[in-house]
């Protein structure tokens, strides 16, 4: 505690209250007074009220008036001494002040002008010397006794540049609830020592500023894309789906295309769209030779009620190695395995796929595909529609519509649309369909075991959820670590498409 704080307490103790700190501590700077008062107030020692008061200082001219009388009284005395005075001589006798004195003296009715253009004293003041009001006012103000002077008069003096205003802050101080002559230190925190010793009971605590966020928590964080992936996984698990072994990026032309009934001249197989691999260069053919023969037949001449694409199918196209363009390559592999022991199945995967695309704000050469597959006996398109409604409802997306579309390996194919409130239009949120019999029967699956599939990208709902505009700022090295550190939980069911 500073000495001054103690001085304040002592003074307050003596006087009971301090009406004006300006009076009691005239030599202490206003800021120092305030900081001492605040500090004491925080301890409950005192309460104070702030008053702004105006103070007026005499100008140099004002001081002259106090010392020598006002200009009008100087002129009065001059005329009184000389009897009369030529107007033109006023300036020569009194300098610049003469003009003011003459004007004021006229106004006061002290002087008159005779026919010879000379100034004489008026009848009113011939007998008795007039009172010098201006001087008296200024003397009052110099003594800081201006409170009963009319505001107009003060304004007039200001205008005459006899006084200059100065604002001063004053405080009136009364005793606080915890008034005493000494000060205890305020504690900022409860320490373990206080808890153990119980000293917190007598300690005084500095009040907290609750209008603050506190310190940032030191923590690690998971990537938002993986958080959304986990949401999808939980939806799949809740609906009885088993995760497929999608950890196989390198695929053969066979599994990525031929098995899915994508003809060998299909644009998707272009170098423009698919990453081909030069090392290693060629794959083996699948072990299941019956399957391979079926695929050849169903492409080339037709089989299983299909007329086929009717072209020369080449094994060498099957053996080209590619980076998979869709996880459906894995689904095909799993369905082929299922054909060994056909039964209903539910499978899903969420994993990376690769496209030889030009990169921009919405396209990357690699991204994640969410894919679900349902195999069951005699399932219908209505089953698929209902299932999609259930699936998307789990992430809060309802009111779906289905649009006919074309995919090489599904027939019927349905694009899934949901109404986007923000964009005020229907937006595509996924693609789905029944796998073609050419694909399934080639594997050896029975005719009545139908397979539904659907897919969507993982990035798109994540970008919507986390309001990311550029896919490169989500997947890949251009992500901001600040974004990763601060991203909220994914919670797909919470207004996904708001």
Partner 1 sequence: MPTVSVKKQQLFDLLGKNYTNDEFDELSFEFGIELDEDTTEEALKLGEEPEYKIEIGANRYDLLCIEGIAQSLNEYLGQSETPKYKLSKPTTKLIVDKETELVRPYCASAVLRNIKFTKESYASFIDLQDKLHSNLCRNRTLVAMGTHDMDTVQGPFHYRALPPKDIKFIPLNQTKEFRADELLEFYKTPEQKNNLGRFVHILEGKPVYPLITDDNDVICSMPPLINSEHTKITLDTKNVFIDITATDRTKAEIVLNILVSMFSRYCADPFTIEPVEIVSEHNGESRMLPDLTERKMQVSIPYINSCLGLEQTAEEISASLKKMSLHSVQSKEDKNMLDVSIPITRPDILHPCDIMEDAAVGYGYNNLPKSEKMSNANFISSPLPVNKISDIFRAASAQASWLEVMPLTLCSHDENFKFLRVEDDNTNAVKLANPKTLEYQVVRTTLLPGILKTVKENRKHTLPIKVFETGDVVFKNEKLERKAYNERHWAAIYAGKTSGFEIIQGLLAKVMQTFRTQWLPDFGAGSTGRGYWIEEDESLTTYFPGRGAKVMFRSKEGEKSIAIGSLGVLHPEVMKNFDVPYAGSFVELNTEVFL
Residue 464: how many other CB atoms lie within 10 Å: 17
* Site membership for partner 1, residue 457 (CB under 8 A): no
- Interface with partner 1 (CB under 8 A), residue total 105
Pinpoint the alpha helices (H) of 19-150: 21-24, 30-42, 60-68, 71-82, 87-94, 97-108, 123-126, 133-142
C-alpha 89/C-alpha 155 separation (Å) is 31
* Site membership for partner 1, residue 390 (CB under 8 A): yes
- CB closer to partner 1 out of 65 and 475: 475
Q: Which of 130, 286, 396, 444 binds partner 1 (CB under 8 A)?
A: 286
Residues 3-32 that bind partner 1 (CB under 8 A): none
- CB closer to partner 1 out of 23 and 305: 305
Classify residue 252 as left (phi > 0), alpha (psi -120 to 50) or beta: beta
- CB closer to partner 1 out of 72 and 251: 251
Stretch of 18-26, 111-119, 154-162, 482-490 lying at the interface with partner 1 (CB under 8 A) = 482-490
Instruction: Report, in Å, the least distance between residue 315 CB and partner 1.
Output: 14
The tokens 């081909």 sit on which residue? 276
- CB closer to partner 1 out of 44 and 408: 408
Q: Which of 223, 462, 459, 227 is CA-nearest to residue 353?
A: 459
In the three-class reduction of DSSP (H, G, I as helix; E, B as strand; rest coil), residue 367 is classed as: strand
Residues 91-130 that bind partner 1 (CB under 8 A): none
Instruction: Report, in Å, the least distance between residue 496 CB and partner 1.
Output: 21
Residues 230-259 that bind partner 1 (CB under 8 A): 233, 236-252, 255
* Residues in contact with 256: Cβ distance below 8 Å, sequence separation at least 6, in sequence order: 274, 322, 324, 325, 326, 329
DSSP 112: E
Stretch of 10-18, 84-92, 192-200, 479-487 lying at the interface with partner 1 (CB under 8 A) = 479-487
Q: Cis peptide before 412, with omega less than 30 degrees from 0?
A: yes
Q: How far apart are the first and last CA of the chain?
A: 57
Residue 139: how many other CB atoms lie within 10 Å: 14
* Site membership for partner 1, residue 481 (CB under 8 A): yes
- CB closer to partner 1 out of 100 and 381: 381
* Site membership for partner 1, residue 376 (CB under 8 A): yes
Stretch of 115-123, 148-156, 189-197, 363-371 lying at the interface with partner 1 (CB under 8 A) = 363-371
Pinpoint the alpha helices (H) of 350-458: 381-393, 437-443
- CB closer to partner 1 out of 107 and 401: 401
- CB closer to partner 1 out of 77 and 265: 265
Contact string (CB under 8 A) for partner 1, positions 216-235, x = contact: --xxxxxx-xx------x--
Residues 289-348 that bind partner 1 (CB under 8 A): 302, 304-311, 321, 323, 344-346
DSSP 104: H
* Site membership for partner 1, residue 205 (CB under 8 A): no
* Site membership for partner 1, residue 76 (CB under 8 A): no
- CB closer to partner 1 out of 198 and 245: 245
Residues 401-440 that bind partner 1 (CB under 8 A): 401-406, 411-414, 417, 426, 434, 436-438
- CB closer to partner 1 out of 161 and 403: 403
CB 25 within 8 A of CB 168: no
Stretch of 24-32, 164-172, 177-185, 355-363 lying at the interface with partner 1 (CB under 8 A) = 355-363
Q: Which residues of 113-131 are buried (b: 16+ CB within 10 A; e: fewer)?
A: eeeeebbbbbeebeeeebe
C-alpha 421/C-alpha 261 separation (Å) is 38
* Site membership for partner 1, residue 279 (CB under 8 A): yes
The residue length of the chain stands at 498
Kindly state the tokens that stand for 444: 């050896």
Stretch of 97-105, 151-159, 200-208, 396-404 lying at the interface with partner 1 (CB under 8 A) = 396-404
Instruction: Write phi, then psi, for 305 (nearest 5 degrees).
Output: 70, 5
Q: Which of 285, 303, 286 is CA-nearest to residue 294?
A: 303
């Amino acid at each position: 505690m500073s000495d001054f704080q103690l001085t304040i307490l002592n003074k307050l103790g003596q006087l009971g209250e301090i009406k004006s700190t300006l009076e009691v501590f005239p030599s202490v700077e206003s800021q120092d007074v305030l900081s001492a008062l605040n500090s004491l107030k925080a301890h409950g020692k005192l309460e104070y009220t702030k008053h702004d008061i105006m103070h007026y200082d005499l100008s140099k001219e004002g001081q002259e008036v106090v010392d020598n009388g006002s200009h009008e009284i100087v002129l009065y005395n001059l005329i009184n001494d000389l009897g009369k005075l030529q107007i033109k001589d006023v300036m020569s006798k009194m300098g610049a002040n003469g003009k003011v004195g003459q004007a004021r003296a006229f106004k006061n009715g002290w002087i008159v002008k005779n026919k010879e253009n000379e100034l004489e004293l008026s009848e009113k003041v011939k007998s008795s010397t007039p009172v010098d009001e201006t001087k008296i006012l200024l003397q009052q103000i110099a003594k800081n006794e201006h409170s009963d002077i009319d505001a107009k008069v003060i304004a007039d003096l200001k205008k005459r540049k006899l006084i200059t205003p100065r604002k001063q802050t004053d405080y009136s101080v009364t005793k606080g609830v915890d008034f005493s002559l000494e000060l205890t230190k305020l504690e900022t925190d409860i320490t373990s020592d206080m808890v153990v010793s119980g000293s917190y009971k007598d300690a005084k605590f500095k009040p907290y500023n609750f209008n603050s966020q506190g310190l940032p928590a030191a923590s690690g964080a998971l990537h938002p894309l993986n958080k959304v992936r986990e949401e999808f996984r939980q939806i799949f698990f809740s609906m009885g789906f088993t995760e497929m072994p999608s950890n196989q990026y390198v695929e053969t032309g066979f599994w990525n295309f031929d098995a899915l009934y994508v003809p060998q001249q299909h644009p998707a197989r272009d170098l423009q769209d698919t990453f081909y691999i030069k090392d290693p260069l060629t794959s083996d053919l699948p072990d299941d030779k019956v399957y391979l023969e079926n695929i050849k037949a169903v492409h080339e001449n037709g089989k299983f009620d299909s007329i086929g694409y009717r072209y020369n199918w080449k094994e060498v196209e099957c053996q080209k190695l590619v980076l998979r363009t869709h996880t459906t390559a894995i689904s095909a592999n799993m369905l082929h395995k299922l054909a060994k022991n056909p039964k209903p199945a539910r499978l899903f995967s969420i994993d990376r796929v690769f496209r030889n695309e030009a990169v921009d704000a919405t396209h990357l050469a690699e991204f994640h595909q969410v894919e679900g597959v349902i195999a069951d006996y005699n399932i219908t398109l209505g089953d698929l529609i209902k299932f999609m409604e259930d699936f998307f409802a789990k992430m809060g997306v309802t009111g779906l519509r289905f649009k006919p579309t074309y995919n090489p390996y599904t027939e019927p194919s349905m694009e899934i649309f949901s109404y986007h409130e923000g964009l005020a239009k229907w937006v595509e949120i996924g693609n789905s369909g029944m796998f073609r019999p050419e694909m399934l029967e080639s594997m050896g699956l029975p005719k009545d075991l139908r397979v539904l599939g659907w897919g969507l990208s993982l990035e798109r709902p994540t970008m919507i959820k986390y309001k990311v505009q550029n896919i490169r700022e989500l997947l890949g090295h251009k992500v901001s670590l600040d974004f990763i550190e601060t991203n909220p939980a994914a919670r797909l069911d919470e207004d996904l498409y708001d």
